[in-house]
Amino acid sequence: MPIKKFDSDLGVIKVSKRRNVKRISLTVASGSIKVTQPFWLPYFHGYRFALSNRVWISQQLQSSFVFSLQDGQQYGKRHVLQITQGGNLACRIISNKIRLSVPEGVDINTQPVFDCFKKGLKRALKKEATDFLPERVAIIANKYNLTYKKLAFKAMRSRWGSCNSKQNISINTYLMLASWDAIDYVIAHELAHTKYMHHKADFWDLLRLIVPDYKNCQTNLKQLQKQISPLQF
């Protein structure tokens, strides 16, 4: 996917071309301005398109959640960030520590450091999900006489979980950043799909039986999604 970068007073604007795209689109996420356009359009067209929407871009940049890395901060259910100065830039998961090594003199809150941390966090959350959630899923399934075949954990951006027609369930590893109530809601939601592969009345009745306060969990997850968006790839 060809990409060209343009410097502007709004920040760096990344313009990418795709052969299967028919319309030009603009997104702002994690402080990054991206334009996706048809392959035949010149790059400068995408740059001008972004500038023509500068008011909207400014609003999105101002409202975006800014993440600041702090030593001792907890992520997930048991991992704590440990920042050390010196050596090469690296992020390792050791026991319950996310050990982020930053070269001497490098500002911690810069994009390369943050990207390195995100890779480590992704591994830490995958381990937590694998360690904690299989038993939790099994308990809820057995209690409500629901069955599933396979259980997988992977990083996803657009949804917290999924269940296919073969009763295979996937859970988003970033869910480990949510409360236990919200986690149980997502588990219940996907387990309910093993019986009802739709969102009609029968499905919601079953979900309400398992998680009476499911609407509040939905609201909390929507808020969380905005907050953790900078942490996701």
The residue out of 39, 63, 87 marking a domain boundary is 63
Report CA torsion sign: 184, 185, 186, 190: positive
Tell whether 35 is covered by a domain.
yes
Same structural domain, 59 and 78? no
pLDDT in tens, 117-162: 999 999 999 999 999 999 999 999 999 999 999 999 999 988 999 9
Which whole-number Å values give the CA distances from 213 to 86, 168, 216, 217, in the listed order?
A: 48, 25, 6, 7
Residue 115 sits in the same domain as residue 20? no
Give the closest residue to 173 by CA, choosing from 138, 213, 140, 131: 131
Task: Find tokens 């709004």 and name the residue.
Answer: 10
The tokens describing 195, both together, are 């019986």
**Among 63, 91, 109, residue at a domain's last position:** 63
8 A C-beta contact, residue 22 and residue 36: no
Q: Is 193 exposed, middle or buried (0-12, 13-18, 19+ CB in 10 A)?
A: buried
Are 28 and 61 in contact by the 8 Å Cβ rule? The answer is yes
Domain span at residue 44 reads 3-63
In the prediction, which pLDDT does 199 show?
95
Regarding whether 90 and 52 lie in a shared domain, the answer is no
**How many Cα atoms within 13 Å fall on the side-chain side of residue 46?**
29
Residues 161-200 pLDDT 10s: 999 999 999 999 999 999 999 999 999 999 999 999 999 9
Structure token digits, residue 8 = 């502007």
Cα–Cα distance measured from residue 29 to residue 37, given in angstroms and rounded to the nearest whole number: 17
